Chain A
Amino acid sequence: MQVLTDTTLEELKQKAVQLRRDVVDMIYEAGSGHPGGSLSVMDILVLLYYRVMRIDAANCRYHDRDRLVLSKGHACPALYAILADKGFFPVAELKRLRKIDSILQGHPDMRKIPGVEMSTGSLGQGLSAANGMALAARLDNSTRRVFVVLGDGEIQEGQIWEAAMTAAHFRLDNLTAFLDFNGLQIDGWVRDVKSQEPLVEKWKSFGWHTLEVDGHDYRSLMEGVNRAFSYKGAPTMIIARTVKGKGVSFMENQVDWHGKSPSKDEYEKALRELRDGEGGENFHGTDGHQGSLR
């Protein structure tokens, strides 16, 4: 059971602003990518990587590390920014996102990028892989945990529901899933494209311990994680309500920002907003990656 102090909370918020700036930076440099979902998922990943997961950048393949599968692989700029910040690979590599010969592929590649546990990108596949990792942890009698982050559009894929049955059937209580519930997919609002309601009831009826949290409130997210860890006999689904494009006013809740890079003006405006936002000015430091939180 972990409680976030006011100091930690402030550090997490500042870290997230720095990382959101990295995301905007990377996608601007790359000239393509997916800002909306990267910004919506950020706080989920920040809490996991800076407060919850047992990992070690210096020894990134050690056997009993916790695993995270970013099933919504297109949000990888968020993951890459975090992995670089934690020292899995040089921060300078972020500028090479989506470029020829870079390790930072447009979607996560576990064979190229230290710290990436599963290649994803073709939606719907990550939960099955996470289940396999959770089964492996059980076979190993290990206390390591497996996390998986799904997109809300993504769960229209049938394989997700095959895997949902699997996790419940095998009682994978070492598995915690997050749904980045930002309500948007490429062609519009999820409820209009193909509704998933009743969403909470669906996961519950599939045998999951299902929670709802605010995906941009670290204390709410932490509470979800605490409850997931203490729950035995079933996997936990944490439905995290988020805002697509969170942190950049003109991207928030705008479907057009699912998969495009900002113009120069938009880029500068986005960085200004992130600097002046909740993280406050000058937290970023001159080198940009020396926050107190690692």
Chain B
Amino acid sequence: MEPMATREAYGKALIELGLKQEKVVVLDADLSKSTKTSLFAEKFPLRFFNMGIAEADMMGTAAGLAASGYIPFASTFGVFATGRTYDQIRNSIAYTRLNVKIAASHTGITVGEDGASHQTLEDIALMRVLPNMTVVVPADGRQTFQAVEAIASFEGPVYLRLGRSAVPQVIPEELPFELGKAQILREGNDLLIVAAGIMLGTALEAAGILEKEGVRAAIVNVHTIKPLDNELLVRMAGNTGAVVTAEEHSIIGGLGGAVAELLAENCPVPVVRLGIRDTFGESGAPQALLQKYGLTAENLALAGKKALKLKKSGK
């Protein structure tokens, strides 16, 4: 497969899903061309609802559809799909355990030129803290197809995090996809790199850098941040004794937060978190922003070495 934005894959996956499951309906808040739900709208106009620029109402309407047996996918940009609608998601979707799929595009700093107002760096944290919520971050186009199918078959609220920019295929085709089961992309005994979303490609590159310095790093793709694959992460953290996390999200409350919480209680090894360091983003080209905010293979390799140093010093 060619590089593809996960939002693009989402739009295409929705069409396949729509053909297979007649209970699937799609809602959007005036961003259907960007979130790619317009593809579904063209194919199934009666099962598509454009809610206008009214995200809170969209979430509540989705809840009502789900309460009547439909499987609504509600889409908009991540920043509006989580923060703006937090109380609607909390009370009408998570508390009620209704079968709503919140599929958010344009997450993270790679939204790029639109700037900080549109770059959600806290959406995983907001969704992860809600009881009953499942949080899925596909790493590439193919994985997005798999994730859309999996979450449609799963009964309960899900947050699906998608990106704007094209990403290469990083997950081997033969790796099975199962909600809640992390995937081992690379074996290694010295260091564990835990990554999600677009940071998987960065992690593979960082592992190459570390390899040259004699560090064998394992890489795990945590496509389901909640529920976290506790068993696999604790086992691999124990095997390696040093962990680094990588995400296109704040280091507070996201993947790094989840892994640090898990390991502090179950396998206390050093955890170094690479992500956005408690700051808002800004306008710029996606690659330039990744560079400026430190989400690079070089930085990830450095974070890995810091974790190794902590392991050796026993601190």
Interface residues, chain A, with chain B CB atoms under 8 Å away: 63, 67, 69, 109-111, 117-122, 125-137, 139-140, 158-159, 162-163, 165-166, 169-170
Contact = CB atoms under 8 A, between A and B. Distances in A.
Interface string B22-45: 000100000000000000000000
B60 A170 contact: no
B63 A132 contact: yes
Nearest to B60: A128
Contact of A132 (B56, B60, B91): B60
Interface residues of B, number: 31
Contacts of A165: 52, 54, 57
Contacts of A166: 51-52, 54, 57, 61
Given A118-B96, A125-B88, A139-B70, A158 B56 contact: yes
Contacts of A158: 56
A162 B66 CA distance: 19
A163 B60 contact: yes
B56 A110 contact: no
B57 A159 contact: yes
Contacts of B60: 125-129, 131-132, 159, 163
B61 A131 contact: yes
Query: Which residue, of B25, B56, B59, has the highest number of chain A Cβ atoms within 10 A?
Result: B56
Given A118-B63, A128-B64, A128-B88, A135 B56 contact: no
B114 interface: no
Contact of B69 (A111, A121, A125, A136): A136
Contact of B46 (A118, A126, A139, A159): A139
B62 interface: yes
Interface in B39-84: 46-47, 49, 51-52, 54, 56-70, 72
7 contacts: A119-B96, A128-B63, A129-B67, A139-B70, A159-B60, A162-B51, A162-B56
B92 interface: yes
Contacts, number: 109
Nearest to A146: B64
B69 A130 contact: no
Given A122-B90, A133-B64, A135-B64, 15 more contacts: A67-B67, A110-B96, A111-B97, A119-B92, A125-B92, A132-B62, A132-B64, A134-B64, A136-B64, A136-B67, A136-B69, A136-B70, A139-B25, A163-B57, A166-B57
Contacts of B187: none
Contact of B49 (A133, A135, A163): A135
- Per DSSP, chain A at the interface is helix
A128 B96 contact: no
B95 interface: yes
B16 interface: no
B26 to A, nearest CB: 12
B87 interface: yes
B231 to A, nearest CB: 29
Contact of A128 (B61, B72, B90): B61
B57 A162 contact: yes
Given A139-B47, A166-B57, A63 B69 contact: yes
A123 to B, nearest CB: 10
Contacts of A63: 69
A36 B67 CA distance: 29
Nearest to A117: B67
Given A111-B97, A159-B57, A129 B70 contact: no
Given A128-B61, A159-B60, A121 B91 contact: yes
B46 A129 contact: no
Contacts of A122: 87, 90-91
A137 B60 CA distance: 16
A125 B61 CA distance: 9
A135 B46 CA distance: 10
Nearest to A137: B68
B64 A130 contact: yes
B52 A128 contact: no
B222 to A, nearest CB: 29
Contacts of A162: 51-52, 54, 56-57
Nearest to A131: B61
A207 B56 CA distance: 20
Contacts of A110: 67, 96
Contact of A111 (B52, B62, B96): B96
B27 to A, nearest CB: 9
Contacts of A121: 91
Contacts of B87: 122, 125
Given A111-B97, A119-B96, A132 B65 contact: yes
Contacts of B96: 110-111, 118-119
